Chains A and B, each alone.
Chain A
Amino acid sequence: MGLEYLSTLSDSTDKNIILRDLMERYGNDVWNYAFFLTSRFDQADDIFQDVFIKVYCSMFSFRGESSVKTWLLAITRNVAKDHRKSAWARRVLLKATIRRSETASSTEKEVLSRMANGDIWKAVMDLPEKLREALLLYAHHQLTVPEIASLLNISQGTVKSRLHRARAKVPILLKEQLLD
């Protein structure tokens, strides 16, 4: 859906429409990033909802210094961080079964393996978290190195080194998959 009408936006603009369009355009990026960060479908769903509700409530405001996508990904990252904290708290307090959140669980792995290029995605999800995140922001979300650096609040050099290490590691993980 085009966002063409935004050109004549005024105060009367319906926020709901913008919300819809943002979800339509960037919903996939938000959900996928949330999944890459948590490796859990259910958490990605929750984070997706919270991100757009926060956007709607203007808890984060868009200042135009980044692209809309980077802005939404930054919110996603924040929300995911909050989620992790509260999920950790829940686990500790309720002593519920602990699912490791660093790598994908068996359900998610199962689904990944059935997807097109499932082997690659499985390998990527098995990367250490920091390498995975840098790689996917670059290769999946198509952010530039400076954008990634500012999103992750690290130097561009660190981004490049993480990308480099991730690229070296994926083929090794792929090879391991073939072996077992």
Chain B
Amino acid sequence: MKPIRSDWEKELRHFPLNPKGVPAKLKKSVEERIAMGVRPKRNGARTWTTAAALMIAAAALFAWREPLLGLFHRQADTELFDTKTERSVKVQWMDGFSFMSRYGQAFIIRYPNMDVETISSPPYDPQQNMTAAYEAMIERDKPDVVYLPANVFKNLAAEGKLLSLEPFIAKDKYDLSAFVPGIVDGIRELGGGTLYGLTPDYMSEALFYNKDLFDRYGVPYPTDRMSWDDLLRLAQRFPASGEDGSRVYGLAPFLASPSGVAESAALAAGLSLLDANGDWAGDTDGWRTIWKNVFDGYRGGWLYEEKSSSGPVSGVNYYKRNPFLTGEAAMSLYHFTMANDLVEAKKRYGLADFRWDLVTEPVNPNKPDMSPTATLNTIFAIPVRSANAKDAWEMIKHVHSEEMAAKLAVQYPGAQGTRKRIPKALEGYRTDAFYMLKPDPELSVRAYSVARNHLNAQLNSIVDDELKAAIDGVKSFDAAVESIRQRGRQAVEQAKAEERSALGKEAAALR
């Protein structure tokens, strides 16, 4: 019988039911109910808002002194911008409220004469042409600043619906070199050679490695710009025997499943299961080699596979789910958040108590400067017919300012900004590994192709099924490859047939 714990009272500090806070849905329903007609009484409102404001302000001011002061003593480059006349700038963002707390309020603090109006992005609808939805929104709501998914951005730029930022940049001598190399070029490429937008954050991967494990097993540290073959060869050198909990994995891939590893390796090799026409392209030797590597990796036990785990996800358990943080994986491909998690897990729970560092993710040896995974998610731009282009540009500068980057780094420590800055906690680590490779603009556009994503998910589950059967010894590797090819082609053909019949119906409806 286990003993009664004596420290139970301390455990009551955290009620683990809503570890991430009250569900957003519930908060939303409060707002909805208010919007639906509960009308506030104007006077009483002021009493409590002001009181609450004063109350909280004292505490908040203290905690936020630094970022706040940062916002005030900066006047130099705003001479051309009218800081006297009262007016407003209209911004479209994922949702208006969040924009205000992220960027909008700080803008108003910086320019007290400015007001910010917000509208929300068109709802994501896979059935709809998103470019058309954004165009309709711009036509109807006439925002001064828009926030566009990469594919919509590319289309609107090509149609001449966006305002070039180049004249503003030239006039203000705006310093583009403060951005991570490749970001500005990538956006310019999406705009057909002209810069129509900027983005404050993006995503890429880097290879984290546990120096202690490498030293213990006498394996040389990984290096920048390895190929996937190099990476898997390194991973193989870690012993894969032992029980979970004490054993070591060579590599914990970002998508820790057979199809996930295969997809990542294929991205770096420039391979896809679908060709440019959307036809099945998985019959090549290149794919076979990748599947073989994955098969060997799981069979040999040096690749980590994500476990479907239940149980608590808050506190220390959140970190314990990641095999790299627990010291069980020698290497891990991961987003910028991992760097922050490593620091936090150690600080809070004494986890991840080992020496670590990072190098770039593996690359396509033919394109050693391109990141196979980095994508530009969403881009700020100015519609060509904005009535307040100058204010819009000021807002875009504000969103991408060093002060905002510093503020957001505190609020969202895991996010990867497009400005070159290293968080204090990560000084001394090779965080430049995240910034050395250039994002591939085409990859950003493709990420939004919905039809393709759906089919891809289907194909990945086929790959998983078959490779797992082979890994478990239910069938031979060759038989698994044969099945992948057969089932893959079938799925692609079926998807194409469905697409044709949907188009047919649409045409019939138009008639």
Contacts and interface: CB of A to CB of B under 8 A. Distances in A.
Interface string B124-148: 0000000000000000000000000
B429 interface: no
B312 A116 contact: yes
A131 to B, nearest CB: 13
Given A9-B57, A48-B26, A175-B4, A58 B47 contact: yes
Contacts of A31: 18, 22, 26
A170 to B, nearest CB: 6
A57 B43 CA distance: 10
Nearest to B10: A139
B108 interface: yes
Interface of A, helix, strand, loop or mixed by DSSP? helix
A62 interface: yes
Nearest to B410: A2
Contact of A13 (B27, B30, B47, B53): B53
Given A2-B60, A4-B61, A62-B51, A11 B105 contact: no
16 contacts: A7-B68, A18-B53, A23-B22, A24-B21, A24-B27, A31-B22, A48-B22, A52-B30, A56-B30, A57-B40, A117-B8, A117-B11, A120-B11, A124-B12, A171-B4, A174-B8
B17 A135 contact: no
Contacts of A178: 1-2, 4
Nearest to A175: B4
Interface in B196-231: none
Nearest to B67: A4
Contacts of A63: 47, 51
B51 A16 contact: no
A53 B45 contact: no
B309 interface: no
Contacts of A123: 8
Contact of B30 (A49, A68, A124, A142): A49
Given A56-B34, A62-B51, A64-B54, A5 B44 contact: no
Nearest to B109: A8
A28 B5 contact: no
Given A6-B53, A24-B21, A32-B15, 18 more contacts: A6-B52, A9-B57, A13-B53, A14-B100, A15-B45, A17-B105, A28-B22, A30-B22, A32-B18, A49-B30, A53-B34, A55-B48, A62-B51, A116-B317, A120-B11, A136-B12, A139-B13, A175-B4
B64 interface: yes
B56 interface: yes
Interface in B264-314: 311-312, 314
Contact of B51 (A19, A61, A116): A61
B78 interface: no
Interface in A41-70: 45, 48-49, 52-53, 55-64, 67-68
A64 B17 contact: no
Contact of A18 (B44, B49, B60, B311): B49
B160 interface: no
B504 interface: no
A45 B26 contact: yes
B31 A19 contact: yes
Listed residue (B9, B50, B109) with the most chain A CB atoms within 10 angstroms of its CB: B9
B63 interface: yes
Nearest to A108: B17
A152 B311 CA distance: 35
Given A3-B56, A9-B57, A17-B97, A115 B51 contact: no
B507 interface: no
A58 B44 contact: yes
A140 B53 contact: no
Contacts of B12: 120-121, 124, 135-136, 139-140
B1 A32 contact: no
B55 interface: yes
B509 interface: no
A93 interface: no
B41 interface: yes
Interface size class of B (residues with CB under 8 A): 35 or more
A111 interface: yes
A1 B101 contact: yes
B29 interface: yes
Contact of B46 (A11, A124, A135): A11
B510 interface: no
B16 interface: yes
A60 B52 CA distance: 12
A117 B16 contact: yes
Contacts of B44: 57-59, 61
Contact of B106 (A5, A15, A23, A27): A5
B38 A56 contact: yes
A121 B15 CA distance: 8
A170 B60 contact: no
B63 A2 contact: yes
B3 to A, nearest CB: 10
B350 interface: no
Contact of A115 (B17, B39, B46, B54): B17
**4 pairs of A and B residues whose beta carbons are closest in the complex:** A58-B44, A5-B105, A4-B64, A139-B12
B315 interface: yes
Contact of B56 (A6, A56, A120, A140): A6
Contacts of A52: 27, 30
Contacts of A112: 17
Nearest to B46: A11
A5 B9 contact: no
Contacts of A82: none
Nearest to B63: A2
B100 A17 contact: yes
A58 B41 contact: yes
Contacts of B9: 139, 167, 170
Contacts of A67: 55
Contacts of A17: 97, 100-101, 105
A9 B17 contact: no
A112 B418 CA distance: 43
Nearest to B407: A2
A2 B411 contact: yes
A11 B50 CA distance: 9
A68 B33 contact: no
